[in-house]
Amino acid sequence: MLDKRSTAVLQVLLQAATFISVQELMKQFQVSRRTIYYDIEKINDWLCQQELEFVQYTYGKGFFLNDQAKDQVAKQFSHVMPSAYLSVEDRQIYVALMCILRGGKIGTQQLMDETEVSRNTVLQDIKDLKNKWAKKGISLTYSYKDGYEVKGSESDIRNLLYIHITELLSQHQEELLKRVMKADYEYSLIYNWLVECEDKLGMAFTDKMLTQLAYMLTCCIQRIGGKRYVDALITRKEELEKTRQYKALQEIESVLGFDFPPHEKHYLATVLLSAKVNVVNQADSDDWMRTIVKEMVSRFQAYACVVFEDRNRLEQNLYIHLKTAYYRLLYNIHLPNPMLSAIQTKYQDIVELTKKALLPLENSLQTRINEDEISYFALHFGGWMKKQEGRQKQKRIVIVCANGIGTSRMLQYQLEQLLTDAELIGPMTVRDYEQFKETYDLVITTTPLKKRMNVMLVNPILTDDEKQRLIDLVEPASSQLTTQAIMGIIKQHANIQDEPALLANLKLVIQQSKKMVREDKKPMLHEVLQEPFLQLTDSADDWKSAVRLAAKPLLNYEYIEPSYVEAMIKSVEQLGPYIVIAPKVALPHARPEQGVNRVGMSMLRLKEPVYFSTEKQHGAQLIIVLAATDNETHLKALSQLSMMLSENDNIDKLIAMNTKQEMLALIEAYSN
């Protein structure tokens, strides 16, 4: 029988548009070469049992399944339930869902039978769950008569359900979810109802959210059937009762054959309202939300020192996201982001700037925005950092993403940087792709597809291996010739120990050098704000004089042209004091094409403030000039500057300092 990892390996082979090397599989699954061969052997044993064609291997290229074999395997593979081998995390989620959904009827022996592990392992899982849940105010009790039972706020328990459902689906463990729920009929009814009522709701759910939502509603209905009702008071009930979502619940009551208690109907309406969507009804426009979105975009542009080329489209996408995020934040419905860790690691600078941009939303809701929601907003901002470029493209590539607008845009952004000679179509949903009739060369997707011709399955945030595979598939012949030419020269002058690895690295470097800004090329704060670029003086005649004085080191070292200084001044004259980004701090900047030669930064400290308007709050004593060459290279330094200025008293400390060495020590502390 296939275990979890071998099932995942087979899934990769099914979605691959080309050969998959042993090295790629080793890196993707973090296992040894021997383990990969063992998994392939296990897969081939299973294929033999199903009377299907084996996984093939070609020396120097890797493993593959031909298209006919893929179709045959997929039909059988859809019935495979990959639960024989479970990670500790997945097994504990399974145990947790059994206790929540079958509460009062589950004992230790049944958990052992279902998970196929020992009594000690089950008891350790229970102990771990108790410790995790105690932090959320949820307890797990046991009695000989009733078995295990989950106790606590019903709203908190349902949030836990939402988290676990999302985790299993993100790990492609839907079969495990079906097994623990034992509610295929109810799930199918609810899923079909959600599809049918999208038009009535005036929205289109994302592909993944449609599945998540159907499972969540099914679980909620199971809890309601067991008389486990929400206990939290739902605010703004009159507002909820006017929504299409609340009214649509009458239909599902009719389909299921029973009525929801009034407070449950309010709760289920909030679940529907908080579900991520791709499209909203334009007639349901909320002016206050659009105002907040405009403020958020303006703040991000000011803090990141960028100008979005298609601001209207960004604002519309953010508005669509906010329409549902608003209800999640208002009613404390937690929507986990499976990519949270990757986003925070790879796009830390954008996340930090996003936190500042979201302040108007936090003030409006009077609540702190959690890390998962911040990361969703960061996907929108990060995905819009690169402006579209018109050029003749060589290959047509369809992008399919089931995760939502922000994630789709981030994937598109990465592909635009990596595949500069391709025409990218989309992003589109799985349902849109199934109706897509145009010709294309390749499909890049974040979710498995029924059609597998010329399909490559990738992570929403591309790994280095995925980037290399894409380059191999898409890069034009001229680039191939370039890498081969360089390789030929290297062979003449050096002994090569690993030729395939060197060739792969050359391809990646050459392709990325065309367009992509590498993370390791983004300078840190102490690298751009060095001693020659710091100035300490008592006063300036006015804000224009202060800007000119602050920019002088950058001008002297030819980082900028005189035209850039005048452009900064003109920008304030036209747009107002938007560059005052914090009390006592101004960040003058202009567009890269207005006279920037190199990325750089300079700081002027004044003891007496200059004012960028007649308002007292627009006074500044720290004038920090930024010279950016594009929308990205400066972001790491800028996010570190932002963190430094956000810490209590640092602004006043900088103003009070009398030497550049003191300033440099503080700057160094935030440069990591």
Reduced to 3 states, what is the DSSP secondary structure of residue 261? coil
Extract the tokens encoding 265. Answer: 């109907």
Instruction: Quote the Cα angle for 266-272-276, to 5°.
Output: 145
Helix ranges (DSSP H) in 331-404: 340-346, 348-357, 359-365, 371-383
The answer to whether 589 is a known catalytic residue is yes
The helix or strand, by DSSP H or E, that contains position 311, with its residue range, turns out to be helix 311-330
DSSP 557: T
Q: Of residues 266, 321, 589, 618, which has the active-site annotation? A: 589
CB 479 within 8 A of CB 468: no
CB 39 within 8 A of CB 16: no
Q: Output helix, strand, coil percentages for the chain, rounded to the nearest 5.
A: 60, 10, 30
Longest dimension (CA), the chain: 86
Instruction: Return d(Cα 454, Cα 456) in angstroms, integer.
Output: 7
For 499-542, list the strands marked E by DSSP: 534-537
Extract the tokens encoding 558. Answer: 């030819």
Instruction: Look at residues 193, 191, 214 and name the one whose alpha carbon lies nearest to residue 271.
Output: 214
CB 308 within 8 A of CB 297: yes
Q: Is 387 left (phi over 0), alpha (psi -120 to 50) or beta?
A: beta
Instruction: Return d(Cα 267, Cα 157) in angstroms, integer.
Output: 13
CB 278 within 8 A of CB 429: yes
CB 604 within 8 A of CB 550: yes
Residues making up the chain, counted from first to last: 672
Token pair 């452009």 is found at 567
Instruction: Return d(Cα 433, Cα 445) in angstroms, integer.
Output: 10
- Which residues does the annotation mark as catalytic? 589
